[in-house]
Amino acid sequence: MTFQELVSEVMLLTRRPDLVERTESAVRAATLKAHHSDFYYKDIYEQSITFVTPAYVQNFLPTDIFPTFRKAKYLRIWETDGSINGFPGKFLVPIQIENSLDSYKSIKTDVFYQAGQLLQVRLATASQYLLFGAYLHPTLLPEGAFCSWIASEMPWAIIYEAARVIFKSIGMDQQTAEMTQLVGEQYSLLKMSYIDDLPVT
């Protein structure tokens, strides 16, 4: 469904066409909440990264690659012979910054971690090219750019949650409880159908 179709469905449930701005806000919040209810494979996008020069230590700002960046999924080396040809190589290991030394107190290589806003990369072999996979937020604004696969494939997860928020805001507790149950059912279906079963970095 489009953004306006979602808003219209919520208004049909709440019977409050006068609450236009509040309903639009609730739909945006419900869309974000649905995407954040877990890590879904349809939220993963991949992009190549080219650094200025090969190096053993690289870093980059994920939002420069993906403006709607949510969380890193993977980094892998792009193997190349210097021409335009190449192939994806080994995956780097995600670590916590506190876990950057191995059992011999040596700095781990072929790893990455997030420090502040930057993703830090340490390589065993100097490299200039990486593949970056990340979970992204849905695009909520501007309205014309609204983009959510959940809105297209499981819109009621958004509609029921937005309606719940509206009912709660106007003190309709019974309807709020009903919507809460429906939202839970939709989230269960969402996770069964689209959950990313691979380890999350």
Same domain, 50 and 18: no
End-to-end Cα, the chain, rounded Å? 31
User: Across residues 11-37, what is the average pLDDT?
Assistant: 97
* Tally of structural domains, the chain: 2
Q: C-alpha angle with apex 64: 60 to 66, nearest 5 degrees?
A: 110
pLDDT tens readout for residues 107-158: 889 999 999 999 999 999 999 999 999 999 999 999 999 999 999 999 999 9
Single-letter code of the amino acid located at 196: D
Whether residue 200 is predicted with pLDDT greater than 60 in this model: the reply is: no
* pLDDT of amino acid 198: 54
Indicate the SS3 state at residue 154: coil
Position 105 confidence tier, pLDDT thresholds 50, 70, 90: confident
pLDDT tens readout for residues 157-180: 999 999 999 999 999 999 999 999
- In this structure, how many other beta carbons lie within 10 angstroms of the beta carbon of residue 35? 25
Same domain, 53 and 100: yes
User: Across residues 63-92, what is the average pLDDT?
Assistant: 88
The number of helices, as runs of H, and strands, as runs of E, in the chain is 6, 6
Indicate the SS3 state at residue 188: helix
**69-80 and 118-136 beta bridge pairing:** antiparallel
Same domain, 33 and 105: no
Same domain, 173 and 117: no
Same domain, 90 and 144: no
CB 112 within 8 A of CB 122: yes
